[in-house]
Chain A
Amino acid sequence: MKPLREKLLARAQLLATVRQFFQRRGVVEVCTPVLSQAAGTDPSIEPLHTRYTGPAYPQGLELFLQTSPEFAMKRLLAGGSGPIYQIAQVFRDGEYGSRHNPEFTLLEWYRPGLDHHDLMKEVAALMYACLGEELGVEKISYTELFERQFGWSPLQVEIRQLEDTAVLCGIETGNLEYRDQWLDLLMSLVIEPNLGKQGLTFIYDYPASQASLARLNPEDPRIASRFELYYQGVELANGFHELADAAEQRKRFVAENHQRRQRGLRQLPIDENLLDALEQGLPDCAGVALGLDRLLMLRLGKTTLDEVLTFSLTKA
């Protein structure tokens, strides 16, 4: 078979497997708009934007390309959609490399009634369906992971110690201003390449400073109910026991926009539609986003996204 056809077929087969998996479990496929008047405020994710001019907006309207379908899907959940999934093209500015492309495919799904530990089980089941082999599952908390590797807790560590650890690991870098940047550095360069070598590795309970859209642990507010999946040294998925508190969500958006200003980044319009939906009531649920291109890459034993994307950035 020609390599092009093989490549297209592999993607089509993966998509079919995913759809079959969710159909059997009664999770409904949905479609939400790629373009939105609001954007996520996470200072480490930069949206692309475009402009609409025409009926309804004769003066023109700035629209942001989704960096994930999360906000729109949460509006559906608050409206009573029940369990839903989406296979979405998402867009992020500034991200291009062997494992990044500014446009990529996210599989995102939400499960009312489940928490993040329940959802990790379903993620493992999906991985089994997609990779065709039963993989061992290892679960370790973010705190334990760092304690085991470096001997200190990420919840208490001082910047000095983070710098020393980086030097000990042979990493030469300039000064980073924030603790989480140092943690990201050690995670990306030292820990991540060795994660999920024997099977699936779930990291859970992230520091509250990296809560993103996860709820905080009611018993220990220093940690957030967030998890990530790693396989073969590749970050594959990120999930939350979802934050449902509208006031807390607004506080985080405002705080993130404040960080954006401090870092010289543009502040972004907050999604008032999402906040309204949270006011109405988001059912208690867990949700996760999984990079389908990376999964396809691993399924085919490839090492770069370019080998599995139909046309990556430089060829698009």
Chain B
Amino acid sequence: MATYSTNEFRGGLKLLLDGDPCVIIENEFVKPGKGQAFNRVKLRNLKTGRVLEKTFKSGESVEAADVMDRDLQYLYNDGEYWYFMDNDSFEQYQADAHAMGDAVKWIKDQDVCNVTLWNDAPILVEAPNFVVLEITDTDPGLKGDTSGGGGKPATLETGAVVRVPLFVQIGEKVKVDTRKGEYINRVKD
């Protein structure tokens, strides 16, 4: 069992706390001149996404979480799992809906995603920051309006709904920022 001492703490380090993998966001060394030293740590639980704070006595050791980030290509969804492949090793991984989270709204076959693996199983899938998707449904709107003001909802081929300018039409492709769920621009083939 690998462990880290508080002296090794730094942003990005992955620890196992109460059975869940967590990543350190912030680590602060606190010590009274004549007293016990502590490390006050802010972490993100990688399974739930929840941010928590923990205080460790300096010098304590904490179990390391066997967590790594990989770029994996999305293959398909069988109704229950989403399948990904490592393009170097051709190894395949299956992610459940919980690990997929919001990423299901944005990704389609062939997209390469950052996948967090814990004990070799995906626990978190992040969609690429920008994706290009086709619009499958939206109100026709005004053809002549290119001002971009106002806007209307549009359904994308993955099922996600984003606000687009009035001039954007069904069948057109748009670039979207997946972190904010926002339309960026139209993309011509």
Contacts and interface: CB of A to CB of B under 8 A. Distances in A.
A189 B30 contact: yes
A172 B56 CA distance: 9
Q: Is the interface of A mostly helix, strand, loop or mixed?
A: mixed
B33 A181 contact: no
B38 A44 contact: no
A212 interface: yes
A189 B32 contact: no
B52 A235 contact: no
Interface in A43-82: 44-45
Given A44-B37, A176-B36, A188 B56 contact: no
A232 to B, nearest CB: 16
Nearest to B55: A173
A136 interface: no
A210 B32 CA distance: 12
A235 B34 CA distance: 11
B37 A176 contact: no
Given A44-B36, A44-B37, A189-B40, A100 B54 contact: no
B83 interface: no
Nearest to B53: A172
Contact of B34 (A42, A170, A173, A189): A42
Contacts of A173: 38, 54-57
Given A172-B52, A172-B54, A181-B57, A235 B38 contact: no
Contacts of A181: 35-36, 57
Interface in B167-184: none
A94 interface: yes
B53 A174 contact: no
B31 interface: yes
A97 B30 contact: yes
Contacts of A45: 34
A192 B32 CA distance: 9
Contacts of B31: 44, 95, 97, 100, 188
Contacts of B36: 44, 176, 180-181, 184-185
Contacts of A171: 53, 55
Contacts of A210: 34-35
Contact of B32 (A94, A184, A291): A184
A105 interface: no
B28 interface: yes
B34 A212 contact: yes
A235 B33 contact: yes
8 contacts: A44-B32, A95-B29, A97-B28, A100-B29, A174-B60, A184-B32, A188-B35, A210-B34
User: A-B pairs with the 7 shortest C-beta distances?
Assistant: A97-B29, A184-B35, A173-B55, A184-B36, A181-B36, A188-B30, A172-B54
Given A172-B52, A188-B35, 20 more contacts: A44-B32, A44-B34, A94-B58, A97-B28, A97-B30, A98-B29, A170-B53, A173-B54, A173-B57, A176-B36, A180-B36, A181-B36, A184-B38, A185-B36, A188-B32, A189-B40, A192-B32, A210-B35, A238-B33, A238-B34
